[in-house]
Every structure is written in C-alpha cells, then in structure tokens.
Amino acid sequence: MLSSTILRALSVALPKRPVSAADACLRMYSQKGVVASYSNAALDKPEAVILHRLAGSLGSMRVLDIGVGAGRLTEHLAWRVRQYRAIDLAPEMIAQCRQRFRGRLAESCFEVRDMRDLDYPAHSYDFVLNAFNGIDHLAHAERTRFIAEVRRILAPGGLFCFSTHNTRSLARHLRAPDSTRPEFWRRPLATMKALRRRERFLRLNRRAIAQHSTAEHLMVKDGPHGDFGVQICYVSATAQVESLKRAGFDRVSVYSLDSGNELSGGEIAAAEDRWLYFLCG
C-alpha cells in the first residue's frame, strides 16, 4: 500500500483536470446553504407582472421550468397550468423539489437534466421559463444553441421567458459607495464585508468593466453565492433583443428588474438594472 506521503506527492505531480463550467455550477448549486436560498417563493417584480399578464392563458399551457432550483416558481405555476415539468442540473435541487411537493406533484415532474440537453420533441411546450439568470451560466456560443433549442421545442404561438445579467449594470460598480447614507454606518461589519467583496469584484473584472458600455456580451466573475470561480455571461439588452429576433422570436418584450415595468425604445438600451427579463414569442 502506498504511504500517504507518496500519495500526496503523486497528487501534486499529476495534472489536474480542468473544471468545466458545468462542474463549477454543479459544485456551487449543490451546497446545502445555496439549495436553502432557493426554497423561498418570492417573485421578482417582472415575474409577478408577466404571470399576471399570462393569467388568462396559463390553464392551457404545457410548461417547462428550466433551472427550477428548489421550486421557487413551482408554487406559482404548477397548479395553474395544463402540464408542468421542471429540470435542474443539481440533484440536490431536484431532491428538494420532490420532498417539498411530495403528495401534491408527481416526482416525475422534476428531472435532473442539463439545460444544454433539451432532448424533447419539437413543439412539446407552450411556455418555457428560465428564471434567475440560468442562461448566464452558458458561454456565448452555448446560449445561442440553447435559444435555438427552446425555439424548436416551443409550439406555434408559444412563449419563452428568461432573465439575463445586463452589461450596463456594471457601471454601478464604478461608483464609490455613498458614506453619507445612514445605512453605511448602521451595520459596520456588513459594510466592511460589502466593501471587500466590491474590491475583489473590481480586481477580477477590470477588463470587463472597462468594456461595459460597448460590449455585446462579457464574461464576469461576479461571485454568485460567494463563488468567484464561476463565470457569468452579461449581455447588452439591445444585443439580446437582436439575438432573439435572429432566432425566430418576432415579439420581444423587455422588463425592468427594479420596477417590473415593460421597457420600450431608448429605455431598453439605457437600463442599468442588474438583470432584465425577456418575454418573447
């Protein structure tokens, strides 16, 4: 049997397998605390607006919820639609969903599946949802393929709803924190932690931040759940609209995260919301 010293030496000498983007996401979203954070049922403002807008037609829809997490949106959708299916990359998330909705929904409603593999028949769904920026874990070429696959599995007249990080929101990080605001001093430990996180964000993303006003898409290490090893794709709102139209989506609506309002004209290009919602068909 090899000694522990030799084993340690071998582990140093052998090249480490590069961690893929999917592996990094799986590692992060499998953590117990992260799973728990996706167990709430709170809606973003645009999610509430969009669900209200679709209220009259949800009853006839076959829905695919991509990146379901721990069932945050399941509570708002599963009981109102004709058919509900949800997928997630992390087995821990799916296990949480099955436990949470045991006795109310069949376990088969929830499936462990990578969003890069939408191996469903054409026209299988009337509404495909990818909330909380799941698409941003894909590299630019991957998200182009993903959008094409969503288009393929949507029935005629179907709708695709998703959110994505906004390149223009990076401008916020260039502004120094306002130390004159009362909350800046009210919780000094939290403030120091936020300042350290901001410094790390700026250090890791200098190049991306410098290009935020002109780039169509940028890869950013923005530290979701404290993990700065995960890269997130930020996209220009106008570039995203054009990409959707090239994919065959003729109707594209854009919603503000901050207000929940639908944006139009120059508001779309000027928006600095951290992320934006898109509803297209």
Structure tokens at 175: 């502004």
Q: Which amino acid is at 231?
A: Q
Per-residue pLDDT of the chain (281 residues; tens, 9 = 90+): 445 444 444 444 444 545 688 888 889 999 999 998 888 878 999 999 999 999 999 999 999 999 999 999 999 999 999 999 999 999 999 999 999 999 999 999 999 999 999 999 999 999 999 999 999 999 989 999 999 999 999 999 999 999 999 999 998 877 766 666 766 677 788 788 888 888 999 999 999 989 988 999 999 998 888 889 899 999 999 999 999 999 999 999 999 999 999 999 999 999 999 999 999 99
pLDDT of residue 184: 66
In degrees rounded to 5, what are phi and psi of residue 38? -100, 15
| Res 7: pLDDT | 40
Give the per-residue pLDDT at 9. Answer: 46
Nearest to 170 by CA among 142, 135, 208: 208
Domains of the chain: 36-167+236-280 (3.40.50.150), 169-220 (no CATH)
Tokens matching residue 125? 């769904």
| pLDDT value for 123 | 98
For residue 12, what pLDDT is reported? 46
| Predicted pLDDT at 275 | 97
**Model pLDDT, residue 115:** 96
Answer whether 105's CB lies under 8 Å from 80's CB: no
Q: What is the pLDDT of residue 260?
A: 98
